[in-house]
A and B are shown apart, each in its own frame.
Chain A
Amino acid sequence: MYEIASKKELAPDIKLLEVYAEQIAKKVKPGHFVIVRVDEKGERIPINPASCDVNEGTISIAFHEVGKTTMKLGSLNRGDRIANLVGPLGNAAELGKYGRVLCVGGGVMAAPLHFQATSLRDAGNELITVIGARTKEQVILKEEMRRISSELFIVTDDGSEGYSNLDFLEGLLRKGRIDRVVAIGPLVLMREVAELTRPYRIKTMVNLNPIMVDGTGMCGACRVTVGGEMRFACTDGPEFDGHLVDFEELMVRRRMYVSREKIAVLFYKGLGGCT
């Protein structure tokens, strides 16, 4: 059991939990993920940590309450316990000195992006950062990101803050000011970023979040086609070269259980019919 040290609401339905996990805190690096199982009947879901604190022996995880598991997770408070927390899993992200790095984070994934961006800055890179969200209210970690970036842009789907799409990146890329790109977020966002940078041949790393079960290389649920080959996001990734990823296939696979997830949420909210 893993005790919750603190809880914070980053935005409506987006929460950050700091959890005691001493050994994981010592080992976790940006790019890694952990598997969370909330309780005895819970499913195993992968989450990319948003930070770690070796002194406190904690890691923190940010999540958007969109399904039953994240809703259950969001209902927990300081002092409550999570049944299982496994990690660090996957491979750490590449964190070299590249020069000027464009960091793009979408939705709740801006949190793990912040973890990675901080390390990239510490490695001597200059950061230009983009945070995307559906609405102005859902933009998270703006100030934290501003502190480590030389430039910060906000993009919202509804245009309530900043740009309403990523077209403005074209200008940055054309000027040849970017040496490397890191994108973490929804698949549509990562695909769009990869497509924007492809003509400029700027290395673009994406952190994939397919459906996983064990997260240790045993089930193959997270298989993804990268450069025409079958790879497991859990053990070969989750960071891959975005120009080689078959996003179309992954988007379809990601939606495999959508109908079941809806049923689970209905039952969780007590609307599941005659039970």
Chain B
Amino acid sequence: MIKKSMEMPKQRVEERIRNFNEVALGYSEDQAVMEASRCLQCPKPLCVAGCPVEVDIPSFVRDIKERRFDEAIGKVREKNSLPAITGRVCPQEEQCQKTCVMGKTGEPISIGRLERFVADHELQRGVKVPPKPRPNGRGVAVVGSGPAGLTAAADLAKLGYEVTVFEALHEAGGVLMYGIPEFRLPKRIVQSEVDYVKNLGVTVKTDSLIGKLYTVEELFEKGFEAVFIGTGAGLPSFLGVPRENLCGVYSANEFLIRVNLMRAYRFPEYDTPVWVGRKVAVIGAGNVAMDSARCALRLGAEEVWIVYRRSRQEAPARLEEMENAEEEGVKFKFLTNPIGFLGDKYGWVCGMECISMRLGEPDESGRRRPIPIEGSEFTMDVDTVVVAVGQSPNPMISRTTKGLQTTRWGSVVVEEGTGKTSIEGVYAGGDIVSGAATVISAMGSGKNAARAIHEYLSNKKVR
């Protein structure tokens, strides 16, 4: 029995910090087959229970082992419409791989890498257009084309519904497009997964901000019989400290939208600029912070610091992402909290006032609460700051939809397991319900909502 999992080749550090190409290069066929061969094919697989979209993991892994790659991707796609994406960005170590029996004595099967392998294998050879089901003539509107919306749309289309996805930005994909950088999730991958969903018969309308162009009520008037809201957590949080509006201080959303969606790293070929100085501080230690820090490095910063008020143990980023960032030269300043910014005479940020922290008792999140150490104030010289301390649910729909019940944090209140909201025929899922979470949990809730919408419409008379 091989206890160690097969390493996945990566771009060399010296090279990759100078480009935006994908860092992880993916398994070769032989590597994938070898890794798949380690799977014990448990009669009662624990991995499947760890997957929010219930992919039949042992079956597709066995197909890989036996080199039936087309069958393998078919099995994955039965449950997961975006495998090339989840194979790259899922926190498998917290999900399927966490419960893998192999993990007890050695390393778990690299399920994510195998999923990515079969998905890429399929993309390379050209994705087979799935057979279109007979349309049932009933329309469902999906608001937002991120992972929750795309999953709900795909599952509903497979059931024969006429699905229209409304996307506010100019490209479909939501956070997959504007948030996660090219070097972690190439945009052509997102585009081909979106194309797959379109090939199922789904219509995607970009440039359509629901709440403004049409209200949810108007979508029903237009003839849609159900609406799924998957508008995500797009509202950036700021620190609320003095002089946060100096030039050179970005929200992570702004920074990443410029770089990813608008391709600012290719300015002036692309028209959108982004400005990165010599010394960058990224506030926060989640995946978004790691993404921002690694973008800043690639844009030519000499020094990039992750500044986080708690310690390494509490950092919410995936371990793999922190390791990648560290490998590339991102530095970490833990137990440090910004308390204000300093500006030069032109209104640009030139320094960040900080205070050292220590950890106290655990708070409601279970993590130890950071407490400022009196008299420990100090100043960091920085000329660019990216504030990556979280996003909250997008308020556009709740502000413009009468009767939609929300929490005081602005998330939409839904019934567990179905995504049913306080309005009949309106369902919601993804970050708009949970607050900022993972791609795969959003997909899971999109899947549940699709199931619930189907049940609802099956019991409702055809108009």
Q: CB within 8 Å of B: which residues of A?
A: 23-24, 27, 37, 41-44, 68-69, 83-89, 213-214, 216-221, 223-225, 230, 235, 249, 252-253, 255-257, 260-261, 263-264, 267, 272
Contact with A along B202-245 (1 / 0, CB 8 A): 00001111001110000000000000000000111010100011
Any chain A CB within 8 A of the CB of B168? yes
Cα–Cα, bound, A86→B207 (Å): 5
CB-based contact A220/B212 at 8 Å: no
* Given A24-B213, A253-B247, A264-B268, A217 contacting B396 (CB threshold 8 A): yes
Which residues of chain B have C-beta atoms less than 8 A from A253's C-beta?
245, 247, 347
Stretch with Cβ within 8 A of A (4 or more), from B10-18, B253-261, B279-287, B300-308? B253-261
Partner of B213, one of A27, A41, A68, A219: A27
Any chain A CB within 8 A of the CB of B262? yes
A-facing residues in B239-295 (Cβ within 8 Å):
240, 244-245, 247-248, 250-251, 253-254, 257-258, 262-263, 267-273, 275
CB-based contact A219/B254 at 8 Å: yes
Inter-chain residue pair count (beta carbon < 8 A): 115
User: Nearest chain A CB to B7's CB is how many angstroms away?
Assistant: 37
Q: Which residue of B lies closest to A84 (CB)?
A: B170
Which residues of chain A have C-beta atoms less than 8 A from B262's C-beta?
43-44, 213
* Given A44-B262, A219-B236, A260 contacting B267 (CB threshold 8 A): yes
Any chain A CB within 8 A of the CB of B395? yes
CB-based contact A86/B209 at 8 Å: yes
A-B contact pairs, 20 of them (CB 8 A): A23-B213, A43-B270, A44-B170, A68-B271, A88-B212, A88-B213, A213-B262, A217-B395, A218-B234, A219-B253, A220-B250, A221-B254, A224-B245, A230-B240, A253-B245, A260-B267, A260-B268, A260-B273, A264-B271, A267-B268
Partner of B209, one of A216, A261, A264: A216
Cα–Cα, bound, A139→B271 (Å): 29
Cα–Cα, bound, A102→B421 (Å): 46
* Given A85-B207, A252-B346, A218 contacting B270 (CB threshold 8 A): no
CB-based contact B272/A213 at 8 Å: yes
Partner of B236, one of A220, A225, A272: A220
Add 16 more A-B contacts to A44-B272, A255-B247, A260-B268 (CB < 8 A). A27-B213, A37-B170, A41-B263, A43-B270, A44-B262, A69-B271, A86-B209, A213-B258, A216-B234, A217-B235, A217-B394, A219-B257, A256-B248, A257-B273, A261-B273, A263-B268
CB-based contact A220/B254 at 8 Å: yes
Any chain A CB within 8 A of the CB of B169? yes
Cα–Cα, bound, A42→B178 (Å): 15
Partner of B245, one of A84, A230, A257, A261: A230
Which residues of chain B have C-beta atoms less than 8 A from A235's C-beta?
395-396
CB-based contact A84/B271 at 8 Å: no
Which residues of chain B have C-beta atoms less than 8 A from A267's C-beta?
268
Q: Which residue of A lies closest to B273 (CB)?
A: A260
Which residues of chain B have C-beta atoms less than 8 A from A85's C-beta?
207
Interface of A is mostly: mixed
User: Nearest chain A CB to B391's CB is how many angstroms away?
Assistant: 8
Q: Which residue of B lies closest to A38 (CB)?
A: B271
Q: Which residue of A lies closest to B179 (CB)?
A: A218
* Given A216-B209, A218-B236, A252 contacting B247 (CB threshold 8 A): yes
Which residues of chain B have C-beta atoms less than 8 A from A89's C-beta?
209, 212
CB-based contact B253/A220 at 8 Å: yes
Which residues of chain B have C-beta atoms less than 8 A from A44's C-beta?
170, 262, 272
Which residues of chain A have C-beta atoms less than 8 A from B206's C-beta?
84
CB-based contact B269/A87 at 8 Å: no
CB-based contact A256/B245 at 8 Å: no
Q: Which residue of B lies closest to A21 (CB)?
A: B207
Which residues of chain B have C-beta atoms less than 8 A from A214's C-beta?
168-169, 178, 257
* Given A86-B168, A213-B257, A220-B238, A257 contacting B275 (CB threshold 8 A): yes
* Given A219-B236, A252-B247, A23 contacting B212 (CB threshold 8 A): no
CB-based contact A87/B213 at 8 Å: yes
Q: Which residue of B lies closest to A257 (CB)?
A: B273
Which residues of chain A have C-beta atoms less than 8 A from B273's C-beta?
43, 257, 260-261, 263-264
CB-based contact B253/A218 at 8 Å: yes
Which residues of chain A have C-beta atoms less than 8 A from B253's C-beta?
218-220
Contact with A along B73-84 (1 / 0, CB 8 A): 000000000000
User: Nearest chain B CB to A213's CB is how many angstroms away?
Assistant: 5
Cα–Cα, bound, A23→B250 (Å): 33
Q: Which residue of B lies closest to A219 (CB)?
A: B254
User: Nearest chain A CB to B35's CB is how many angstroms away?
Assistant: 38
User: Nearest chain A CB to B254's CB is how many angstroms away?
Assistant: 4
Which residues of chain B have C-beta atoms less than 8 A from A83's C-beta?
170
Residue among A214, A221, A253, A255 facing the most chain B CB atoms (10 A cut-off):
A214
Q: Which residue of A lies closest to B247 (CB)?
A: A256
Cα–Cα, bound, A235→B392 (Å): 15
Partner of B207, one of A84, A213, A260, A263: A84
Cα–Cα, bound, A194→B283 (Å): 36
CB-based contact A230/B235 at 8 Å: no
Q: Which residue of A lies closest to B214 (CB)?
A: A23
Which residues of chain A have C-beta atoms less than 8 A from B212's C-beta?
27, 87-89
Cα–Cα, bound, A220→B256 (Å): 12
User: Nearest chain A CB to B231's CB is how many angstroms away?
Assistant: 10
Cα–Cα, bound, A88→B395 (Å): 16
CB-based contact A249/B254 at 8 Å: no
A-facing residues in B145-169 (Cβ within 8 Å):
168-169
CB-based contact A43/B271 at 8 Å: yes
User: Nearest chain A CB to B374's CB is how many angstroms away?
Assistant: 27
User: Nearest chain B CB to A67's CB is how many angstroms away?
Assistant: 9
Which residues of chain B have C-beta atoms less than 8 A from A88's C-beta?
212-213
CB-based contact B234/A217 at 8 Å: yes
Which residues of chain B have C-beta atoms less than 8 A from A272's C-beta?
268
